[in-house]
Amino acid sequence: MLTSFLRKKVEVPVMHLADDNQPIVRIRDLVKTYSSSAGDFTVLKNIQVDFYPGEFVGVIGKSGSGKSTLINMITGIDRPTAGEIYVGDIPVHSLTENEMAIWRGRNLGIVFQFFQLLPMLSLLENVMLPMDFCNMFTLPERRERAMDLLRMVEMEDHAFKLPSAISGGQQQRVAIARALANDPPVIVADEPTGNLDSKTAEAVFAMFEQLIERGKTIVMVTHDSSLAKRVSRTVLIADGEVVNEYVFRAMPTLTHQQMLHASKELETMDFEPGQVIMRESTPGDHFYIITEGEVEIGLRRPDGVDVVVTRLGAGKYFGEIELMQNRNSVATVRASAHGVKVAALDRSDFEEILKDSEITRNAMEYNASKHLQENVTMRDGELQ
């Protein structure tokens, strides 16, 4: 059956990779709705998200939030109800089933929670299978490449065993080797450590980190909070929507629902190089989270000279001192030499969010006092 399928010579579009400054995966206005006898249920709602070359992204969220559905949209295992998905310059959402099967085999490596190795094939044959399916490499090259990949995941000595003869952790190593068979630029992993003990999960995660060093892009669904903290970026999904990643960084103690609410209230702002965002001794009326670029925090010394006491980059925030302590701005904040982009909450939205989260309010009060003292200490140090 496989041979007859390949003989159809399905013309598959060739993916051209974007440069490192452009996303390798682009998702726009993505909606997924399932229909049942009980009615329609929308799992994903207007998702907008990008993944960049060389990123290790963790997709997290509660059970049923839609994170695995999102992964299945990228791989083409499931199709969107509306919206667009591009991997490189290929519109994945518009490929036919035959095109999708071959394109996916050549361009995506998929690692599942339950390994999904074919039980009647040896480990070597399992790794060779994607190469056979996509008709890539010569027969001798396939065998040699499969052995090289098994060697990379430290499973070469088990090459001729069946999956049932090895442990779950070893099967996941082989599954990773299989995912790399056709040298895909993107690896998609759905709970790859969810069925493993902590020691084996750590070893598998270390292999993913090595793949990032080799230039791969990895998008990984995980429920393991300790692993999620070690990826280069986290995408949080709550009730089928993507929470703003900078809200997640700035206020991690909010519930997922509170983060989603805050994300919807954000106002995006762009400031030109050197433009004043907050001026010392004037009322502070926004909480700002930096999304791109840097700001300079300046304080005035007793002799009237302004000094830059610190610089803040993407993921950092400012304006909390004024809002938490109900005072005028203690510093002048300017966009750095290349400008800055921020996401901002006005005073009323900020206070409403903190009203519903005592733990976040306490954290903000602590940080406001801490940051004020740090700035004053750095300013006074300039006097010496």
Instruction: Report the domain count for the chain.
Output: 2
> Count of residues for the chain?
384
CATH number assigned to the domain comprising residue 220: 3.40.50.300
Confidence (pLDDT) at 384: 42
Select from 187, 217, 243 the last residue of a domain: 243
Same domain, 223 and 345: no
pTM for this entry: 0.79
Select from 193, 210, 243 the last residue of a domain: 243
Question: Which residues pair with residue 335 across a beta bridge?
Answer: 295
Q: Is 292 exposed, middle or buried (0-12, 13-18, 19+ CB in 10 A)?
A: middle
Instruction: Check residue 157 and report its DSSP letter.
Output: G
Same domain, 235 and 379: no
Residue 52 to residues 45, 86, 156, 183, 353, Cα–Cα distance (Å): 22, 12, 32, 17, 31
Same domain, 230 and 332: no
Full residue range of the structural domain in which residue 124 is found? 2-243
Residue 214 located in a structural domain: yes
Residue 70 located in a structural domain: yes
CATH number assigned to the domain comprising residue 270: 2.60.120.10
Amino acid occupying residue 305: V
Confidence (pLDDT) at 15: 63
Confidence (pLDDT) at 200: 82
What is the rounded CA–CA span in Å between residue 40 and residue 22? Answer: 35
Same domain, 18 and 140: yes
DSSP string, 180-224: TTT--SEEEEESTTTTS-HHHHHHHHHHHHHHHHTT-EEEEE---
Same domain, 219 and 149: yes
DSSP string, 287-308: EEEEEEEEEEEEEE-TTS-EEE
Confidence (pLDDT) at 199: 83
Residue 13 located in a structural domain: yes
Same domain, 161 and 58: yes
Same domain, 239 and 268: no
**293 in Cβ contact with 340 (< 8 Å):** yes
Confidence (pLDDT) at 373: 87
Select from 199, 217, 243 the last residue of a domain: 243
Same domain, 335 and 379: yes
Same domain, 45 and 192: yes
Phi, psi of 182, rounded to the nearest 5 degrees: -100, 20
Q: Burial letters for 126-162: b for 16+ Cβ neighbours within 10 Å, e otherwise?
A: bbbbbbbbbebbeeeebbebbbebbebbebbebbeeb
Same domain, 212 and 308: no
Same domain, 120 and 237: yes
Residue 251 located in a structural domain: no
Same domain, 192 and 268: no
Residue 249 located in a structural domain: no
Confidence (pLDDT) at 342: 96
Q: Is 341 exposed, middle or buried (0-12, 13-18, 19+ CB in 10 A)?
A: middle
**242 in Cβ contact with 59 (< 8 Å):** no
Residue 253 located in a structural domain: no
pLDDT digit string (tens) for the chain, length 384 residues: 344 444 455 565 666 665 667 899 999 999 999 988 888 889 999 999 999 999 999 998 888 888 889 999 999 889 999 999 999 888 998 888 888 888 888 889 988 878 789 999 999 999 999 999 888 888 889 999 999 999 988 899 999 999 999 998 899 899 999 999 998 999 999 888 887 788 888 888 888 898 899 889 999 998 877 777 788 888 989 889 999 888 988 998 998 889 989 999 999 999 999 999 999 889 989 999 999 999 999 888 777 777 888 899 998 999 999 999 998 988 899 999 999 999 999 999 999 999 999 999 999 999 999 988 887 777 666 544
Residue 252 located in a structural domain: no
Confidence (pLDDT) at 106: 87
**3 in Cβ contact with 93 (< 8 Å):** no
Residue 360 located in a structural domain: yes
Nearest one of 36, 27, 35 to 70, comparing CA atoms = 27
Phi, psi of 284, rounded to the nearest 5 degrees: -95, 130
Pairing of strands 108-111, 186-190: parallel
